[in-house]
């Protein structure tokens, strides 16, 4: 049975952790994010690795140190939720050292995106826990981002229909049809990197969500082909492609467009699929609960979260 964290309330305590890179990589650090979360009524404390500056090259600490920071955040009964400060690189390195049994016994809201995808998948596989794919402490909190963060983390009823902001992308249909299933996924390259490991993503009868940043079309093609060869696209009930940001062909490349790649790789499996959900590395950030039931109407470009993601 999937484990759901309790909903956040004003006065609850958030622990900021750094499973990948350090806050030095963020413009202005994390002070703006901490100030916003404090303004919203929460208390924020910092994990040991967050306090360090590039303690281990491009990482916020050694693999053991970063895992210990995460384990302690879940072990500490004074902590109500665990928010990542940033992504970057390095989260998969710490997966063998995470104490999944402690996390399973003490489910809490866990929030992050991008490189943090590795932990989302591992926590689903090893701890049977609902997690949240959304903004981090170092993110820009637009009004839309803030609205969906609060809605997703503080309500105990299903989120209902997920909608893009008025200035967000237009959702396109890749393949028509309807599908239902638990929502899984995250950043495309991190999902692909789990294949062949003990943390391999399970897409069978699921709604698979993917997003990406900075990769040119041929790399999007490569990672989608990896999922296709592994049967992950074929096993999914439906597929949601979020934003694919800053994806440009190299100057000297003849290239397919991103739309060409999506229609070819994803369209070929015939599963209901859409492109353009406002989640990932764009200006605005949805907060999507992973591990709960969703319904996709790809023909109309609509998505609903039909199951509560938090408990009372």
- Among all residues, which ones are annotated catalytic? 114, 211, 281
Sign of CA dihedral 175, 178, 221, 233: negative
Backbone phi and psi for residue 83, each to the nearest 5 degrees, phi listed first: -115, 135
The answer to whether 47 and 15 are in contact (CB under 8 A) is: yes
Sorted by sequence, the CB contacts under 8 Å of residue 304 that are 6+ apart come out as 158, 159, 160, 161, 162, 294, 295
Cα distances (Å, whole numbers) of residue 19 to 68, 93, 139, 265: 10, 9, 15, 31
Residue carrying structure tokens 């609903």: 304
Joined tokens for residue 243: 């934003």
Cα separation, 39 vs 31, in Å, equals 12
Backbone phi and psi for residue 292, each to the nearest 5 degrees, phi listed first: -115, 165
Cα separation, 122 vs 143, in Å, equals 31
Other C-beta atoms closer than 10 Å to the C-beta of 92 total 21
Backbone phi and psi for residue 129, each to the nearest 5 degrees, phi listed first: -115, 140
Cα separation, 143 vs 83, in Å, equals 19
The answer to whether 111 and 137 are in contact (CB under 8 A) is: no
The answer to whether 220 and 258 are in contact (CB under 8 A) is: yes
The answer to whether 262 and 195 are in contact (CB under 8 A) is: no
């Amino acid at each position: 049975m999937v484990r759901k964290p309790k909903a956040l309330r004003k006065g609850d305590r958030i622990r900021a952790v750094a499973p990948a890179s350090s806050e030095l990589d963020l413009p202005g650090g994390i002070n703006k994010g901490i100030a916003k979360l404090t303004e919203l009524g929460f208390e924020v404390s910092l994990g040991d690795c967050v306090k360090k500056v590039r303690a281990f090259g491009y990482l916020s600490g050694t693999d053991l140190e970063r895992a210990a920071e995460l384990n302690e955040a879940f072990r500490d009964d004074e902590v109500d939720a665990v928010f990542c400060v940033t992504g970057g690189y390095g989260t998969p390195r710490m997966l063998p050292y995470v104490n999944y049994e402690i996390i399973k016994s003490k489910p809490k809201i866990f929030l992050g995106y991008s490189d943090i995808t590795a932990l989302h998948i591992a926590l689903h596989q090893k701890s049977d826990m609902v997690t949240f794919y959304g903004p981090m402490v170092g993110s820009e909190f637009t009004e839309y981002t803030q609205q969906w963060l609060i809605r997703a983390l503080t309500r105990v009823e299903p989120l209902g229909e997920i909608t893009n902001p008025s200035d967000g992308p237009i959702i396109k249909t890749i393949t028509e049809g309807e599908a239902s299933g638990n929502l899984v996924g995250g950043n495309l390259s991190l999902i692909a990197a789990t294949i062949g490991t003990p943390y391999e993503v399970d897409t069978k009868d699921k709604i698979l969500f993917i997003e990406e940043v900075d990769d040119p079309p041929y790399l999007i093609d490569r990672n989608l082909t990896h999922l296709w060869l592994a049967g992950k696209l074929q096993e999914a009930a439906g597929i949601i492609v979020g934003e694919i940001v800053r994806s440009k062909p190299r100057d000297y490349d003849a290239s397919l467009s991103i739309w060409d790649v999506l229609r070819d790789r994803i369209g070929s499996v015939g599963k209901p699929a859409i492109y353009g959900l406002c989640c990932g590395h764009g200006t605005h950030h949805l907060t999507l609960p992973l591990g709960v039931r969703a319904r996709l109407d790809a023909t109309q470009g609509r998505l609903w979260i039909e199951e509560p993601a938090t408990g009372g």
